[in-house]
Amino acid sequence: MITFLAKRTATLVAAVLLSSFAVFLIPYVTPGDPVRKIIRSRVAGDVVDDSTVQALGQSLGLHDPLPVQYFRWLGAFFSGDMGLSHISRTPVVDQVMPALGITLSLVIVALGIAVIVSLPLGIVAGLKQGGKADKLITTITQSFIAMPEYWLAPLLVLVFALKLSLLPSAGWNTTSSIVLPAVTLALRPISFFTSAVRSGMIDALEAEHIQAARARGLSHVQTIMRHVIPNGLVPLSTLFAVWFAGLLGGSVIVEVVFAIPGMGRLLYDAVVNSDIPLAQGGVVVVVALAVAITTLADFLHRILSPKVSGALA
C-alpha cells in the first residue's frame, strides 16, 4: 500500500507538471510575440513602446531559459498569482476560484442525483437480470445516452421554466437555479452508473463465494446485503471519479445554455477571446483537481477491494 501510495503520488505530480508545462508553453507556441503576451498578463497598464517591453521583459526574467521561467511561473501560480486576464484586466485567480466553486457545486449535485437514482435501479436490474424490471430499467437508462445536453437542456427549459414556470430558465441566482442544469448533467452518468452497478451486481451474484455464504447459513437476503451489494458497488467508485473529473471541464454546454458562470463557461470564454492567462489558470486548476480526484478514487478502490492492493503492491 505504501509503495502504491508513493507511486501514485509521483504519478500525480508528474501529470500536473507535464500538463502545466504544456499550458505554460501556450504564449510561446501561439502566434504573436510571447514577451508582449506575458507582459500583458503581468502588468496592469498598456505597454506599447519597444524599450519598455525590453525593460519589462528583462525585469520579469522573460529572457531566462525556459525551465527557469517555467518553475518561476509554476511557483507564482500555486501561491495564487495566476496573472491578469487579457480581457478583463483583473487577476485570473479572482475569476477562476468563484467559477470553480460554482462548477463544483453543480457537478456534485448532478453526480449526487446520478448516484441516488442509479444505485437502486442498478441493484434491482442486476438482481432481476433478464426480468421485466431489468429490461425496463436498462432500456430507459440506456436511452439517456442518446440525449445530448444541447437537445435536452432547451427541452427541459421549455417544459419546466417556460410552460410550467416551476424553475428559473437560466442564471445562477437562487437555489432552484441548480435544478435544471444538474438534472441535464446527471442523465448520462445515470445511464453509465446504472449499467456499471447492474453488471457489478451480476458478477458479484455469480461469484463462487456466494454459494459458500449460503452454505454457512446466511439467508438469500442476508447474502445479498452482505456479500453481493458491497462487492457489486466497488466498480462504481472508479467510474464515479472518472465522471467527476470529466465533468469539471466538460460541463461547458450546460453552463453556456443555462448561462452559469462556471469553469466550463470560463474556459469557453477564454478560448473564444484568446485570453491566454485565463485559459492557463482554468486548465491547470481543472487538471490538478481531476488528477487528484482519480488518485483519491484509486485509494478508495484499494480500501474497498484489498485484493487489488495485494496483487499490485
Partner 1 sequence: MPELVIEDLTVRSTATEPPILSRVSLTVRPGEFVALVGGSGSGKTMTAKSVLQLLPEPLRIESGSIRLGPLDVTNAPETELNRIRGGRLGMLFQQPKRMFNPNKTIRKHLKEPLKLHAGLAGKPADTKVLELLVEVGFEDPEWGAQAYPHQLSGGMAQRAMTAMALAGQPEILLADEPTSALDKVLESQILELLDRERRHRGLGILYITHNLASVAAFADRVLVMDAGKIVESGTTEAVLGSPKTAYTRKLLDASNLLPTSITDVTPQGRSVLTLTNVVKHFGPGKRLGMGKRFGMGKRFGLGNADRPALNSVSLALKQGEILGVLGQSGSGKSTLARAIVGLEGISGGSITRTLAAGEISPPTAVQLVFQEPHDSFDPRMTLRASLEAPLRRHAGLSPAERSQRLQDAMKEVELDPCLLERRPGQCSGGQLQRVTIARALLLEPEVLICDEATSALDALTQRTILDLLQRLHRDRGLSLMIITHDMDVVRHMCQRVAVLFQGRLVELTDTHKFFAEPQHEHSRDLVSAAIPCRGLHLKKMRAAS
3-class state of residue 148 by DSSP: coil
Task: For residue 153, count other CB atoms closer than 10 A to its CB.
Answer: 22
Q: Which one, 26 or 207, has the nearer CB to partner 1?
A: 207
Interface pick for partner 1 out of 2, 16, 32, 165 (rule CB under 8 A): 2
Rounded to the nearest whole angstrom, what is the least distance from the CB of residue 220 to partner 1 in the complex?
A: 8
Site for partner 1 in 6-65 (CB under 8 A): 6
Interface pick for partner 1 out of 213, 229, 245, 248 (rule CB under 8 A): 213
Q: Which one, 148 or 310, has the nearer CB to partner 1?
A: 310
Check residue 218 for interaction with partner 1 (CB under 8 A).
Answer: yes
Interface pick for partner 1 out of 67, 132, 139, 307 (rule CB under 8 A): 307
HSE, side-chain direction, 13 A CA sphere, residue 27: 23
Check residue 234 for interaction with partner 1 (CB under 8 A).
Answer: yes
Check residue 216 for interaction with partner 1 (CB under 8 A).
Answer: yes
Q: Which one, 158 or 303, has the nearer CB to partner 1?
A: 303
Check residue 230 for interaction with partner 1 (CB under 8 A).
Answer: yes
Interface pick for partner 1 out of 120, 148, 171, 306 (rule CB under 8 A): 306
CA distance linking residue 63 with residue 68, whole number of Å: 10
Interface pick for partner 1 out of 12, 203, 214, 296 (rule CB under 8 A): 214
Q: Which stretch binds partner 1 (CB under 8 A): 125-133, 160-168, 195-203, 205-213?
A: 205-213
CA angle at 297 for the pair 294 and 300, rounded to the nearest 5°: 160
Q: Which parts of the chain fold into alpha helices (H)? A: 2-24, 26-29, 34-42, 50-59, 66-78, 92-127, 132-145, 149-156, 179-206, 208-215, 220-223, 229-250, 252-257, 263-272, 276-304, 306-312
Check residue 209 for interaction with partner 1 (CB under 8 A).
Answer: yes
Q: How many residues bind partner 1 (CB under 8 A)?
A: 28
CA distance linking residue 304 with residue 231, whole number of Å: 8
3-class state of residue 45 by DSSP: coil
Site for partner 1 in 67-126 (CB under 8 A): none
Contacts made by residues 292-298, CB under 8 angstroms, sequence distance 24+: 292/12, 293/241, 293/244, 293/245, 294/241, 294/242, 294/245, 295/8, 295/9, 295/11, 295/12, 296/241, 297/237, 297/238, 297/240, 297/241, 297/242, 298/8, 298/238, 298/241
CA distance linking residue 154 with residue 112, whole number of Å: 22
Q: Which stretch binds partner 1 (CB under 8 A): 78-86, 118-126, 138-146, 304-312?
A: 304-312
Check residue 3 for interaction with partner 1 (CB under 8 A).
Answer: yes
CA distance linking residue 22 with residue 281, whole number of Å: 12
Rounded to the nearest whole angstrom, what is the least distance from the CB of residue 227 to partner 1 in the complex?
A: 5
Q: Which one, 5 or 43, has the nearer CB to partner 1?
A: 5
Q: Which one, 162 or 212, has the nearer CB to partner 1?
A: 212
Q: Which residues in this chain contact partner 1 in the complex, by CB under 8 A? A: 1-3, 6, 207-209, 211-219, 226-227, 230-231, 234, 304-307, 310-311, 313
